[in-house]
Structure 1
Amino acid sequence: MNFKRILFFISFVISLVLPFFLHSLWTLAKWIDALFLIGLLLLMIYSVMLLIEGQFFTAFFKSTRNFFAKVNKKDQLIQESEKRTTYSVDYHREFPNRNAFFQIGLLFSIGSLVVSVTYFFLS
């Protein structure tokens, strides 16, 4: 089994069980809400992965390292005496299954919206 099928199956099972934890009984409307919440959670996980891959936080890491290197006089004197410069470390991470989170999250979110519209307006 590939990762996308495992993620779909686990997310679907969690959406079936989640209404029991949020509410005391299981109804179709509460399951649709849980399915939408799981879809939004998967989309949020995808967006965080996208930010990490795009090195959004690298500038914050570099600026805080530079700030603390300039504030700490002892380290600054050691660097000057050893004649070394502040080196930058790149934090680069790639997530191989990032698109699976996006596709399944979009499927759950849009699917639950369509089912909820048809359920509430046609019944």
Structure 2
Amino acid sequence: MNFKGILLFISLGSSFILSFFLYRQWSLTNWFDALFLIGLLLIMVYCVMVLIEGQFFTAFLKSTRNFFAKVNKKDQLIRESEKRSVEPLDYRKEFPNRSSFLQVGLFFCIGSLLISSALHYLN
């Protein structure tokens, strides 16, 4: 079984559990609400992965490290005596299965939204 299938089954199981925790009783509409929330969570995980891969936070880390390196006089004197500069921060992370989070999340969100709308308008 591939990663997307495992993610799908784990998300379905957690949506059943979440519907009991949120609503104290199981009903089809409560389960679709929980399924929608799980889908939103998966989409947010995908977005965080995209931000990390795009090195969005690297500028903040570099500027913070540079600031503390210049403020700390002891480290600055040691660097000057050793004639070295502040080491550049190079952090690169790649997530191999990030598209699975988006696909499963969109499937859950759109599917539960359509079925919930159909149940609402048919009743």
Q: Please give the alpha-carbon distance, in whole angstroms, between the structure 2 residues aligned to 1:67 and 1:89.
A: 13
Q: How does 1:81-120 map to 2 (within 5 A)?
A: 81-120=81-120
Identity %: 66
Secondary structure of the equivalent of 1:25? coil
1:75-123 Cα offsets, whole Å, 9 max, x none, are 0111111110112121110000000000000000000110011000111
TM-score, scaled to structure 2: 0.98
Unaligned runs of 5+ residues in structure 2 are: none
Q: CA deviation at 1:39?
A: 0.1
2:69 counterpart of 1:69: yes
Q: Please give the alpha-carbon distance, in whole angstroms, between the structure 2 residues aligned to 1:30 and 1:88.
A: 50
Unaligned runs of 5+ residues in structure 1 are: none
Aligned twin of 2:6: 6
RMSD in angstroms over aligned alpha carbons? Answer: 0.7
Runs of 4+ aligned residues of structure 1 deviating over 6 Å after TM superposition are none
TM-score, scaled to structure 1: 0.98
Aligned twin of 2:37: 37
Q: Please give the alpha-carbon distance, in whole angstroms, between the structure 1 residues aligned to 2:81 and 2:53.
A: 37
Q: Please give the alpha-carbon distance, in whole angstroms, between the structure 1 residues aligned to 2:73 and 2:18.
A: 53
Secondary structure of the equivalent of 1:92? coil
